[in-house]
Amino acid sequence: MPEGRVRVPSIAPSMNVSLGKWRRLQQATNARGTFTVLAMDHRGPLRRKLAAALPPNEVDGALADLKEDIVRELAPCSSAVLLDPEIGVARCLAKSALPPHIGLLVALDTGSTGDPATLKTGLVPDWGVAPTVRIGAAGAKLLVYYHHDAPEAPRVEELVRTTAQACNETELPFYLEPLAYDYRQPGTHLPSSERRRVVIESTRRLVSLGVDVLKAEFPVDVTEEPDEEVWRDACAELSTVCLVPWVLLSAGVPFDMFLRQTRIAGESGASGVIAGRAVWNDAVTTDAAARRRFLATVARDRARQLADLCGAVGRPFTERCQTCVPPRPLVTEFA
């Protein structure tokens, strides 16, 4: 760590989790208890990218091939993989692309639209917490667009609350991904200071509804705010208000920038990352041979760098969580 910079001090555990959730959190983390999760639950934006080079009836097959290739190559460098139930889960499990010792997280949402002017995410039809548990997943993820002042905020909060309740009933860890947006002018970016305010307030309001792990945006816009001390202060503020482990999403920023963000987030209290496009974006091509070369070299090196960095600076989830060991059951001896 650079001279003069102090890590966020250790804090007392602030979240009680059941043994079932505790075990599944262990399955999604490394031996030290930090997260390096490969995000591969993308759908709509990838379909559009592939559709530019393929006839409509070949797009879903190409997307399944892409997901299998990425997971097969990069999962061994990850603590867990986040997949969608529509294409990714069945393909990657049936083809053994996901090693059995690597954790599985499953998206409950239909994914980001990729369109800044259409910021609504639905739930995957005929899916939910129960089937996620049945396939042996270590967690469920829900993406929501949220601004605490938006008219839609109460509806989003209720969705988070009911999802958290369903996860509690099955002892499945609930990962929430709230994305900030400007509800007054859809399609425009929030200024950096406003983004920080919304990310912090979203954390304060939503985590208390039953979230187990927060998948957070970097709390400032680094293209507008270049000062790393401001980044560090914002991440420390996020750690202060977040009562559960939080991990950083990559949002498709260039990999070198994401490494910088990851280091500062980890030194400021984050427990790792859930990273997608920053690692594998150049693999989105219909040229299978070129894709596999990229994945086996550049992407795999990126995944290893992230794993090493998160292991070095990330805060173990056990610093934010504790679990209660049930009392020893009574044993009745029979004559």
Domain ranges across the chain: 15-323
Name the pLDDT band for 123 (thresholds 50, 70, 90): very high
Distances (CA, A) of 314 to 231, 245, 263, 304: 16, 10, 8, 15
Residue with the bigger pLDDT between 4 and 160: it is 160
* Share of residues in the chain with pLDDT > 70 (%): 90
237 CA to centre of own chain: 20
**pLDDT digits 0-9 by tens, 185-231:** 877 889 999 999 999 999 999 999 999 999 999 999 999 999 999 99
Q: Does domain 15-323 have CATH number 3.90.190.20?
A: no
Is residue 155's pLDDT more than 50? Answer: yes
Name the pLDDT band for 142 (thresholds 50, 70, 90): very high
pTM of the model: 0.92
**Cβ atoms of residues 306 and 259 within 8 Å:** yes
Average pLDDT, the chain: 91
DSSP 283: G
Rounded Cα distance between 21 and 324, Å, is: 11
> Can you list the pairs that 225-229 forms with residues at least 24 positions away whose Cβ atoms lie under 8 Å?
225/192, 228/260, 228/264
Q: Which of 294, 252, 272, 254 is nearest to 73 (CA)?
A: 294
Structure token pair of residue 239:
């750690």
